[in-house]
């Protein structure tokens, strides 16, 4: 479980940092609120499509679509929290590496700097989605073996000595024995 959590967080950091770096290249190192929330919603959709059971996996289209929609909404809330409470200034070496220019009078904080905010939001969502994704139970073999105990979702019917004709007539095995 911890391994899946870390893999999901790594997926999120990479995706969020890549989208944030793209925003820096466009000139939105510290975007305004509207752009930040739109970018966060896009990040939530994308991480919902790739984290956990990805959209390209067998029978995952509906699940990935639902995660994408919920991810967009959760990303909006997480972005609000990041912009509000992640007020630590961005280290100067990060600003130098990305060659981002911050408008005068604006302080780039971890919650307002596009690259760090989107990476944090996507890491939280990616970790949640991957940790929540439980692997499928073992499939039965071609020989007809049953799934492992405790993994079957539908109980198999018990075998009975009564035939269909007996059930239709309403007589049970006990009543037949008494009649004989």
pLDDT over 60 (residue 146): no
Q: Which residues contact 79 (CB under 8 A, 6 or more apart)?
A: 36, 37, 40, 117, 121
Most confident range, picked from 22-31, 64-73, 150-159 = 64-73
Domain extent listing, the chain = 2-132
Please write the tens of the pLDDT for every residue from 11-58.
999 999 999 999 989 888 888 899 999 999 999 999 999 998 899 988
Tokens of 134: 């439980």
What's the pTM value of the predicted model, to 2 decimals? Answer: 0.70
pLDDT of residue 164: 57
Mean pLDDT in residue range 159-163: 59
């Amino acid at each position: 479980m911890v391994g899946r959590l870390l893999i999901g967080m790594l997926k999120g950091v990479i995706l969020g940092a890549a989208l944030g770096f793209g925003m820096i290249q466009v000139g939105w190192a510290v975007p305004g609120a509207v752009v930040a929330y739109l970018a966060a919603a896009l990040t939530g959709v994308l991480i919902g499509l790739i984290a956990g059971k990805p959209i390209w996996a067998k029978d995952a289209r509906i699940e990935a679509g639902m995660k994408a929609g919920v991810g967009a909404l959760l990303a909006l809330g997480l972005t609000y929290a990041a912009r509000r409470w992640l007020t630590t200034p961005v280290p100067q070496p990060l600003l130098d590496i990305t060659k981002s220019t911050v408008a005068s009078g604006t302080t780039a904080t971890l919650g307002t700097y596009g690259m760090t905010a989107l990476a944090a939001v996507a890491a939280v969502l990616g970790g949640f989605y991957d940790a929540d994704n439980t692997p499928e139970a073992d499939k039965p073999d071609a020989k007809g073996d049953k799934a492992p105990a405790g993994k079957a979702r539908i109980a198999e019917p018990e075998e009975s000595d009564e035939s269909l004709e007996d059930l239709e007539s309403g007589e049970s095995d006990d009543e037949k024995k008494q009649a004989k």
